[in-house]
A and B are shown apart, each in its own frame.
Chain A
Amino acid sequence: MYDDVRLSLPDTLDQEVIFRQLERVLDPELDEPILKLGFVKSIEVESDHLTIELHLPTYWCAPNFSYMMAEDTRRELLTVGGIHDVTVRLKDHFAAKTIEAGVNTGKSFSQAFPDEASEDLCQLSDLFLRKGYIRRQERLLQNLKSVGLSLEEIAVRRIGDLYFEGESYRIRRNDGRICDVGEAEVARQYFQRRAEMNLDCSPAAPLIIDLRGREVTAEQLEKYLIRARTVRVALQANGSFCAAVLAARKGKN
């Protein structure tokens, strides 16, 4: 599954459970799971104590984002049955000591960096949650467009018009026909983020709503899509950059 991760677990502990929990931890800027990005180097469990080692793409990865990932990792793993203590280690990071000391004792970012950080990370975390929403929505919109839905048709779709079937999803069109659209994951990720942001996810709610939960009309949709496309390209920048740096770094090790 995640073959790159070095594992040392007792027989009583199922690695699937750990991975499932860890899959919830995202790189906030990239909006991708850190597991998939290859940031998790090793996981070791001794009795009820789990130690996880993260290897971020560069020595200078911004401490705020690094802190968020380390914090989320610890929080998620503490929910695994049989684990009572979690230690996060950062390999080759300039602020590893301070981040580890803070995260592993449950301190907030500003408590961990009292002289250097004036605020906590919620605001930043929110910003990337919102950007991620746009990115996920854009993927869905591109899917719908590619199977022939017009902007007018997209604008009047309700959540209830969308069905999951196995690994794909389908949409009911204006004339009542139901057609295949794309991979289920695209729609699932969109709904998951929509729920995380407390936006209306009921079947009667419009399929496409903006960040404030407002309906997007067909006339607005064209401009909306153009902007969403740029948000997606921007988010991909760091992903491409990190992936390249990480690959080069791994090659050298």
Chain B
Amino acid sequence: MYRENGQEIFVVDGHMHFWDANPENWRNEYGEGWIRCFYDFHTALSPEEYVWSFEKYCKYGEETLIDDLFSEGYVDVAILNSTYLYEFYKNGFNTHQQNNAIKAKYPDRFILCGSFDPRAEEAGLDAFRQMVEDYPIQGLKLYTAEWRNGSKGWRLNDPWAYKYFELAEELGVKNIHVHKGPTVYPLNRDAFDVADVDYAATDFPNLNFIIEHIGLPRLDDFCWIATQEKNVYAGMSVAMAFIHSRPKYFAEIVANLLFWLGEDRMIFGSDYAIWTPKWLIEKFMALELPDDIKEEYGVDLTPEAKRKVLGENAAGLYGIDISAHSEKLSQDEIGVKFAGSA
């Protein structure tokens, strides 16, 4: 909960991770390369006082996470993104099985995302059904650029992907987070190209597509698509991190999202532990769009818009009743532990 001038703002961190990138878990040099690249992002865009050591960054553990999100970081509910990366990490990077341990401990604090990979074809459909049966899966995190047996990626409009979306609808898993962001490793042409979102969003109007990292650096293509497709949302993690070192540029990104999508389809995310929510949220709350940008785009980031971006929009997608849920959270282990602080 973010509190300011007697107001309370319910915060949903729309995108965070609980990863294990300990050297013992590296399968090969890619495991090391991956986490070092994340660490570069971390050091490049975090304010100096929030930079961790590489050792801590590889494995930060539950206590740190709980503290960074719920005590220091104003977060009420966090969306656990699952990323598998078995080709780089022996036990996976942060699988839904791993993530479920913390979800089970604090059930009202986390939303657990599972995943599917349509390249598993028929067998994967059964595994998907089983996953939803065995775990409290409320959303999906899809990673179209992930390697698999020599394949370097897939597309949301592949015929097999559609079979999985049909099953998602049938199972009532409606929120589909898709990683479309800075290129980490798409070898073949452009696996983070956002064009496939257009097809899937049109053909599955009952599903919501939250495009993580707003397609950066394909922000323009993302905006054209999101303007047409009302079930496409802007997942703002990564873009958020510009708020410290490039505030004017961040303001322009926000102006673009407000202009093309509007304040009802923008969702805050920290991408923890790449960055921590505390400074992102504080700076976001303090942000005012510069006058020239306001004038040029004809938009404004009002207090009302901030409330929506920080929590209300995501709460809406996941059917969270904010006042009832806040009440519940004040009684859970974390709520009791941190009562009075922050």
Seen from chain A, the residues whose Cβ lies within 8 Å of a Cβ on chain B are: 29, 57-65, 94-95, 113, 115-119, 123-124, 131, 226-227, 229-231, 233-238, 240-241, 244-245, 247-249, 252
Known: A64-B190, A234-B220, A238-B217. A249 touches B252 (CB 8 A): no
A238 B187 Cβ-Cβ under 8 A: no
A231 B188 Cβ-Cβ under 8 A: no
A230 B37 Cβ-Cβ under 8 A: no
B150 A117 Cβ-Cβ under 8 A: no
- Residues of B contacting A241 in the complex (Cβ-Cβ under 8 angstroms): 44, 182, 216-217
Known: A113-B187, A124-B189. A230 touches B223 (CB 8 A): yes
B183 A240 Cβ-Cβ under 8 A: no
CA of A65 to CA of B188, assembled, Å: 11
Q: How far is the CB of A75 from chain B (nearest CB, A)?
A: 21
Known: A59-B36, A60-B37, A248-B43. A230 touches B187 (CB 8 A): no
CA of A248 to CA of B45, assembled, Å: 9
Chain B 32-61 near chain A by CB (<8 Å), digits 1 or 0: 011011001101110000000000000000
Q: Look across to chain B and name the residue whose beta carbon is closest to the beta carbon of A244.
A: B44
Report the 3 A-B pairs with minimum CB-CB distance, sorted nearest first.
Answer: A234-B219, A248-B44, A62-B183
Chain B 52-77 near chain A by CB (<8 Å), digits 1 or 0: 00000000000000000000000000
Known: A94-B30, A238-B216. A118 touches B188 (CB 8 A): yes
- Residues of B contacting A58 in the complex (Cβ-Cβ under 8 angstroms): 37, 40
Could you say which of A61, A117, A124, A244 has the most chain B C-beta atoms within 10 Å of its C-beta?
Answer: A244
- Residues of B contacting A226 in the complex (Cβ-Cβ under 8 angstroms): 259
Q: Which of B7-15, B99-107, B242-250, B328-336 contacts A (4 or more CB under 8 A)?
A: B242-250
Which B residues between 256 and 285 are near A, CB-CB below 8 angstroms? 256, 259-260
- Residues of B contacting A117 in the complex (Cβ-Cβ under 8 angstroms): 187-189
B43 A238 Cβ-Cβ under 8 A: no
B189 A119 Cβ-Cβ under 8 A: yes
B40 A94 Cβ-Cβ under 8 A: no
B187 A249 Cβ-Cβ under 8 A: no
Seen from chain B, the residues whose Cβ lies within 8 Å of a Cβ on chain A are: 29-30, 33-34, 36-37, 40-41, 43-45, 150, 152, 182-190, 216-221, 223, 239, 242, 245-246, 249, 252-253, 256, 259-260, 296
Q: Look across to chain A and name the residue whose beta carbon is closest to the beta carbon of B192.
A: A62
Q: Look across to chain B and name the residue whose beta carbon is closest to the beta carbon of A118.
A: B188
13 further interface pairs, Cβ-Cβ under 8 Å (given A59-B33, A123-B189, A248-B43): A60-B183, A62-B183, A62-B185, A116-B188, A118-B189, A124-B190, A233-B220, A234-B218, A234-B221, A236-B249, A237-B219, A237-B239, A249-B40
A61 B242 Cβ-Cβ under 8 A: no
- Residues of A contacting B190 in the complex (Cβ-Cβ under 8 angstroms): 64, 124
Neighbour of B185 across the interface among A60, A65, A236, CB < 8 A: A60
Could you say which of A237, A240, A248 has the most chain B C-beta atoms within 10 Å of its C-beta?
Answer: A237
A237 B253 Cβ-Cβ under 8 A: yes
A240 B249 Cβ-Cβ under 8 A: yes
Could you say which of A116, A123, A252 has the most chain B C-beta atoms within 10 Å of its C-beta?
Answer: A116
CB<8 Å pairs between A and B, sample of 13: A57-B40, A60-B37, A115-B150, A116-B187, A117-B187, A118-B189, A233-B252, A234-B219, A236-B249, A237-B217, A237-B219, A244-B45, A244-B245
Q: How far is the CB of B225 from chain A (nearest CB, A)?
A: 12
Q: How far is the CB of A108 from chain B (nearest CB, A)?
A: 14
- Residues of B contacting A252 in the complex (Cβ-Cβ under 8 angstroms): 43
- Residues of A contacting B29 in the complex (Cβ-Cβ under 8 angstroms): 94
Q: Look across to chain B and name the residue whose beta carbon is closest to the beta carbon of A246.
A: B44
- Residues of A contacting B220 in the complex (Cβ-Cβ under 8 angstroms): 131, 227, 230-231, 233-234
- Residues of A contacting B152 in the complex (Cβ-Cβ under 8 angstroms): 116
- Residues of A contacting B37 in the complex (Cβ-Cβ under 8 angstroms): 58-60
Neighbour of B182 across the interface among A124, A227, A238, CB < 8 A: A238
Neighbour of A240 across the interface among B40, B187, B221, B242, CB < 8 A: B242
- Residues of B contacting A115 in the complex (Cβ-Cβ under 8 angstroms): 150
CA of A244 to CA of B45, assembled, Å: 7
- Residues of A contacting B253 in the complex (Cβ-Cβ under 8 angstroms): 233, 237
Known: A94-B30, A240-B242, A249-B40. A60 touches B184 (CB 8 A): yes
- Residues of A contacting B242 in the complex (Cβ-Cβ under 8 angstroms): 240
- Residues of B contacting A63 in the complex (Cβ-Cβ under 8 angstroms): 187
- Residues of A contacting B45 in the complex (Cβ-Cβ under 8 angstroms): 244
CA of A95 to CA of B190, assembled, Å: 16
CA of A64 to CA of B185, assembled, Å: 10
CA of A58 to CA of B188, assembled, Å: 18
Q: Look across to chain A and name the residue whose beta carbon is closest to the beta carbon of B246.
A: A240
